[in-house]
Amino acid sequence: MIYEKAPAKINLALDVLHKREDGYHEVNMIMTTIDLADRIELKSLEQNEIKIVSDNRFVPDDERNLAYKAAFIIKEKLGIQKGVQITIDKQIPVAAGLAGGSSDAAAVLRGLNKIWKLQLTHEQLAEIGSEIGSDVPFCVYSSTACVTGRGEKIHELPAPPPCWIVLAKPSIGVSTRVVYEQLTLEYLNHPDIEGMKQAIQKQDYSGMTAKLGNVLETVTFRLHPEVKTMKERMLKAGADNVLMSGSGPTVFGLTRKDQKAERIYNSLKGFCNEVYVVRMLGQRLPVD
């Protein structure tokens, strides 16, 4: 039996360049991980089956679960006739723009690589992960990276300068598919991806906060005004800058001061049930 950490991700910058011939959008993103994580327990089974266990009613226990898909695809690709029980202790909010399901899948890939002694590299596991979902390759590394293509091209960066992250998830669901469908590519205000890279490489916290940007905000804010309201409330509470992660609905604020993080947290708790104060992680997780 082994345990794997499955950290949430946030997008420090998210740009969409064009729609590809395969129907996906070409993206250019800076992503990192935070200290809010699911805990995955993997246990070998004598019988050749995949069993999902979770006490969270929003976590499916069949092939709809990305963790199940990860175990299925690695068994299929490598011809493994072994079983596994995957227990998911869910801490990341579901459907939040934080890649919780993708991170669970990536944790299963890393964990099975260890438990079955497959000796696959990050690159090989990420390639398998790209068949499961667009965020899974990044989550295999769970580091800090510039992510391009449809999410499968990972260019690692140093961990960002340390700071506190306050997360707030409004109690709504956002359809990533609908957000991308309603994106008008000609009129986007593109974030400065290169500037964000340089700020991270120089450990320039002020530069990093200044370069936050997400082209999906305009669509999600139009469809769900409460997400925009949450961002404005967080800024008013004193965050150095605030951004929506992925297609939302979670927004996050940055601060270097723990007292300010606590103040922002307290100011949001009355308006939002799911608020968290966490630290930035951004360092690669091992696969062996």
**What positions carry a catalytic annotation?**
9, 135
Cα 46 to Cα 83: distance, rounded to the nearest angstrom: 6
Q: Is 58 helix (H, G, I), strand (E, B) or coil?
A: coil
Answer for the pair 227, 159: CB distance below 8 angstroms, yes or no: no
Q: Which residues are CB-neighbours of 220 under 8 A, at least 6 positions away?
A: 174, 179, 227, 244, 247, 248, 249
Alpha carbons within 13 angstroms on the beta-carbon side of residue 242 total 26
Q: Which ranges of 116-241 would DSSP assign to H, the alpha helix?
A: 122-129, 136-141, 176-181, 193-201, 205-210, 217-223, 225-236
Q: Is the peptide bond before 249 cis (omega within 30 degrees of 0)?
A: yes
